Amino acid sequence: MSCQVRLVTADGDQRVVHAEPGQSVVEAAKQAGIILPSLCGKGTCGTCVGRVEAGSYDMRPFEDDALGGKQDAVLLCCTEPTSDLDVALPFDSTKLVEQAPNRREAGIVSIERLTPHIVKLTLQLEPDDELGSAAEFEAGQYMQIEVPGRGELRAYSMSNVPNWDGTLEFLIHIRVGGLFSTYLDTQAREDDILNLVGPQGTFGLVENGMRPRWFVGGGCGLAPLLSMLRRMAEWGDPQESRLILGVNTAADMFGAAEIGEVLDQLPELQVTTAVWRPEAGLQPADERFECVAGSSVDVLTAALAQIDDPELVPDIYVCGPPGMVTALEEATAAAGVDPELVHSERIAAN
Ligand code: FES
């Protein structure tokens, strides 16, 4: 017998779907035409977080890191209802996708190596009869890119902003043995055509009045944070904002030019680079950046401790490798920050 699953968005919108025995909430929603955020589908990436408010369920195996410090949360790709279920989704109805993401083609414009392990990939969308040629997405979202010749999809966040030109920019970590990384490192050429699925994802700016916005991350977690900061710069958002980036050594810093351009437009943006291994020096990549020894968790913890007005507790956007995101979420919880103010996304190893 199927179970009724009531999906309730953060702004109170409701959808009802039915889960057959052994179906997860994500699978049941998809069958009803609702595409919930879900990347890995097997409990490792944390994209599909939600909260069960009533009802019972079985959990498929999942990795603890995927849930991070989120109390009472579940991974909806692993949640199999065993009774009728009420599920709270952590995003507004405007982000509820009720059709499959678009499939697009895009040509490689350039592959620029920013560090020995980080590449900036720029693509140009091919014009589409229905979708036109603009790159339409929300700052913070990602695209899945098909690995040529392999048919598998890998997800990467855009680091640029929506535009009429159809340009998509990604920051990609070249990983030994990574399927798309290896293609990019050894075979990819300008004008190669790639298949994309998206945009997807609910990570993005939340309307928060004039409360400050902080962005914290590491590695290619910079990509969606940079996209959001560029969007703020484009709109001239007046909120106090802060970017904290964790790097291994000062030489591992990348994206300084892009962050510098944001600073030109958002001069009040405070940028701190936290250098884990400072032996080689603490030279900031831009003289307007602060550069300190330690981790992004240390910097975030110290900054939160200085807030004495509850109105000034920021929305905190976190993105990076799963272990780093979990540590940052735990730091916000330890500082007493309302979990609703913490928006996080984990970068999968691709
Ligand atoms: S989609 Fe559920 S944990 Fe990745």
**C-alpha distances in Å from residue 253, one per residue of 36, 154, 222, 334:** 34, 24, 10, 28
Q: Is the CB of 40 under 6 A from ligand 1?
A: yes
Question: Which residues pair with residue 173 across a beta bridge?
Answer: 118
Q: Which domains does the chain have, with CATH numbers?
A: 3-95 (3.10.20.30), 103-200 (2.40.30.10), 213-346 (3.40.50.80)
With CA atoms as reference, report the closest residue to 156 among 98, 201, 188, 96. Answer: 201
pLDDT tens digits, one per residue of 177-187: 899 999 999 99
- Tell which one of 39, 70, 325 to mutate to probe ligand 1, the residue whose CB is within 8 A of the most ligand atoms: 39
pLDDT at 52: 95
Query: Residue 44: which pLDDT band, with cuts at 50, 70 and 90?
Result: confident
pLDDT at 134: 94
- Tell which one of 27, 30, 44 to mutate to probe ligand 1, the residue whose CB is within 8 A of the most ligand atoms: 44
pLDDT at 311: 87
Structure tokens at 161: 């902003």
Query: Residue 250: which pLDDT band, with cuts at 50, 70 and 90?
Result: confident
Q: Is the CB of 350 under 6 A from ligand 1?
A: no
CA-49 nearest atom, ligand 1: 2
The side-by-side arrangement of strands in the sheet containing 241-247 is 290-293, 270-275, 241-247, 213-218, 315-320, 342-346
Please state, as a whole number, how many other Cβ atoms lie within 10 Å of the Cβ of residue 248: 12
Pick the residue whose CA is nearest to atom 3 on ligand 1: 43
Q: Is the CB of 77 under 6 A from ligand 1?
A: yes
User: Is residue 281 within 8 Å of residue 252, measured between CB atoms?
Assistant: no
Query: Residue 340: which pLDDT band, with cuts at 50, 70 and 90?
Result: confident
Q: Is the pLDDT of residue 160 over 90?
A: yes
How much distance in Å is there from the Cα of 256 to the middle of ligand 1?
31
pLDDT tens digits, one per residue of 78-108: 999 999 999 999 888 887 887 778 999 999 9
d(CA 85, CA 47): 20
Q: Is the pLDDT of residue 349 over 80?
A: no
Q: Is the CB of 225 under 6 A from ligand 1?
A: no
How much distance in Å is there from the Cα of 70 to the middle of ligand 1?
14
Q: Is the CB of 38 under 6 A from ligand 1?
A: yes
Q: Is the CB of 296 under 6 A from ligand 1?
A: no
Residue 327 identity: A
